[in-house]
Amino acid sequence: MNKFIILFIGSLFFLNVSAQEDIQIQDTTKVENLEEVLLKAIRVNADSPITHSNIDKRELAKRNLGQDLPILLNYLPAVVTTTDAGAGVGYTGIRVRGSDATRINVTINGIPYNDSESQGTFWVDLPDFASSVQSLQLQRGVGTSTNGSGAFGASLNLLTDAVSQNAYGEIATSYGSFETWKHTLKFSTGLLQDHFELSGRLSKIVSEGYIDRATSDLRSYFVQATYTADNTLIKALTFGGKERTYQSWFGIDAETLKNDRTFNPAGIYTDADGTIRFYENEVDDYTQDHYQVFWNQRYDANWNSNVSLNYTYGRGYFEQFKEDADLVFHNIEPVIIGGEVIETSDLIRRRWLNNNFYAVNANVNYLDDRWDVSSGVFYSYYGGDHFGEVIWARFAGNSQIRDRYYSGNGDKNEFTVFSKATVRINERWSVYGDLQGRFVSYRTSGLTSDKVLLVESEKYQFFNPKTGVTYKLSNKNQLYVSYGRASREPNRSDFEQGIFTSEKLDDFELGWRYNSEKLKINSNLYFMDYTDQLVLTGALDDVGTPIRTSSGNSYRLGLEVDVKITVTDKLFMIPNIALSENKNKNFVTSRDGSTVNLGDTHISFSPSVVAGNIIEFDPIENLQFALLTKYVGMQYMGNIDSEVSKLGGYFINDLSINYTLENVLFVKSVVVSGLVNNLFNVEYVSNGYFFTFDDDFSDPPLVTTIEGAGFYPQAGINFLFGITLNF
């Protein structure tokens, strides 16, 4: 109880997440209204019966000192984030309502960002992307219809930089713990001849990481050209990034966690002299480029449309040193030396993924005093090539460098059609309806990285209806109720596990919003009823991908509340809390050689309490202090309620400082930012994994299930400090 008293009094979430506050875009001309057309089909407004939070670029900028976008969203309701390297740079993860990133639908300008095969989102491929985000909306639960894989925990849609009326330049640099550096250069020509604008960004982030050797070398770009007229907006933009990170997804066991928190087993091997060494190039190296074109058109006061084209090209590998690797497995013939047959060898291999993603999106919107109607279609094609190659071997025989030892493919087609409408019956009542049909075909061929034949072809057809009602009790009070259906297909890893059954979710939401000058409250109850939900087992495969299993029937029941309190014109508090029960029904598992029904068990990685708070204090103009607090309760890393799989709760605080100096010499403003993470130096773990295996011993054999766990420790107290020059 004391923790929660401290939580709601002693910290602050400085991101403005009030669902009653509209997203603020930097200008107020017709151009900005056309900007919003990009996401009209998938975003909701403040009166919608959909549970959501909004953030604009000004709020993101306050802590944007190099950490990945999921870390910047850590203080939103029901959000839990983690990072492999321990300090928010490199590979990061996000969960909402206990659902991992593969179950959170992410779109950028309405185009799916989730990888079509794995369904995951890898923000490390787009470092410093927050610097090019105009606004974002996080919808919890099923949300409204969107493009790409269904939202089973939340959907996150991002709008990139809007057209700037005026020319500007920005130079930002920051430095922090673990030799973390971030450099950003941004510019815009402003509107030239009242019609044309060119803008862009270059970024570089490097970090040594909290975990041993968990280095990051990240580079990204964003370039946008626009044409605008009274009723037309055309955008052509390209953005992307290149990441090179030392692998740190192996985690450590409980004993190592006590004695050597930063130990990283990645790349470990023993040389010919028996000395333990670490391979210096045990890295993940990936490049991703996105190309998008948008045409937004307003026809009259009621009608507008949007047409979007996208091409994404990704390619990269992760490199491994393998000690005493099996030669035949790697397509290398055994070597005979001095009459001895050599069947194993130290070698270095790379596992590659090259992929292409094409998408076209079109929708039309009608809006008047009563009706707000959107309809559209979406089509995408994904092709992914998976292959492995050996680039060095101590005993290579007749093999050649970069000979492939496995190769496989995945092809995915998706077609979506939707229509949704909000009808304002009168000043108090409005009704929302949303119908979506989604048609997916997925085909695999060739071998997996384990050299198992994977030749499958599956087709899925989904009908996803949604409906809701909003009732305004008064100018300050609003009630809403909604129902949404979501369905989704398995991913490639599920296919490898022999899982082909689709999942279904029925989401029921009941909410109350209160909005006054001094107090804003957003609260909601939800019940998410799953059929054949694919839950994380806690285990990882040999490339660090979480393994899933079907839980049959399961549910999530919860209460979420987020509040903004204006204490004075200089002091604000923004607490939020999410309480939930997350259960598998009649969960069946194998234990000690027998099948056991465990009854109702906790769903993995689903803490029953997640809370945050902000205290923001603005003592003078242009100076802001913010104390941010996060509490995440105990959670299980598996679904069998094993004590070994328990991940302890944690309670951390961050301190943010921002000060702006205006009209300094030749610059418009200088922004000085500071961030102290984990202010009280708490030793905590935000993520981990859990595994079981059967061990046969004694005579006759007696099968015993062995359990184990790994952990990802996070950094103690650390800091980031930055300066931004605006021209």
Domains present along the chain, CATH in parentheses: 2-726 (2.40.170.20)
Residue 291 three-state SS = strand
For the segment 132-160, the average pLDDT, to the nearest whole number, is: 93
Euclidean distance between CA atoms 96 and 321, whole angstroms: 35
- Model confidence at 695: pLDDT above 90: no
- Model confidence at 28: pLDDT above 70: no
Q: How far is CA 424 from CA 50, 293, 428, 430, 469, in A?
A: 16, 33, 8, 4, 10
Nearest to 207 by CA among 218, 198, 196: 218
Q: 348-375, pLDDT tens digit by residue?
A: 999 999 999 999 999 999 999 999 999 9
What pLDDT does 698 receive? 56
**Secondary structure letter of residue 644 according to DSSP:** G
For the segment 407-422, the average pLDDT, to the nearest whole number, is: 96
Q: Which residues, 6+ apart, have CB-to-CB distance to 639 below 8 Å? A: 535, 537, 538, 549, 551, 584, 587, 589, 601, 602, 603, 604
What pLDDT does 9 receive? 33
What single string gives the DSSP state of each residue in 224-275? Answer: EEEEE-SSEEEEEEEEEEEEEEE---S-B-HHHHHH-TT---TTEEE-TTS-
Nearest to 149 by CA among 547, 538, 532, 503: 503
Strands (E), 247-370: 268-270, 276-278, 283-298, 303-326, 335-337, 340-342, 344-367
- Model confidence at 31: pLDDT above 60: no
Nearest to 565 by CA among 516, 619, 524, 523: 516
Nearest to 21 by CA among 51, 52, 54, 50: 54
Beta carbons of 587 and 597 less than 8 angstroms apart: yes
For the segment 594-601, the average pLDDT, to the nearest whole number, is: 92
Tell me the pLDDT band of 14, cut-offs 50, 70 and 90.
Answer: very low
What pLDDT does 322 receive? 95
- Locus of tokens 């598992």: 589
- Model confidence at 11: pLDDT above 70: no
Averaged confidence pLDDT in the chain? 92
Task: Report residue 683 as tokens.
Answer: 């030793």
Q: How far is CA 207 from CA 175, 249, 268, in A?
A: 10, 16, 21
Q: Which residues, 6+ apart, have CB-to-CB distance to 30 below 8 Å? A: 230, 231, 298
- Locus of tokens 């004694």: 698
Bridge partners of 614?
12, 628
Q: 183-212, pLDDT tens digit by residue?
A: 999 999 999 999 999 999 999 999 999 999
**Secondary structure letter of residue 80 according to DSSP:** E
Tell me the pLDDT band of 696, cut-offs 50, 70 and 90.
Answer: low
* Total number of residues shown for the chain: 727
Euclidean distance between CA atoms 140 and 138, whole angstroms: 6
What pLDDT does 29 receive? 43
Nearest to 720 by CA among 205, 135, 260: 205
For the segment 252-257, the average pLDDT, to the nearest whole number, is: 96
Q: How far is CA 306 from CA 364, 365, 372, 376, 585, in A?
A: 6, 9, 15, 9, 44
pTM, two decimals, is: 0.92
For the segment 414-428, the average pLDDT, to the nearest whole number, is: 96
For residues 45 and 405, the model is more confident at: 405
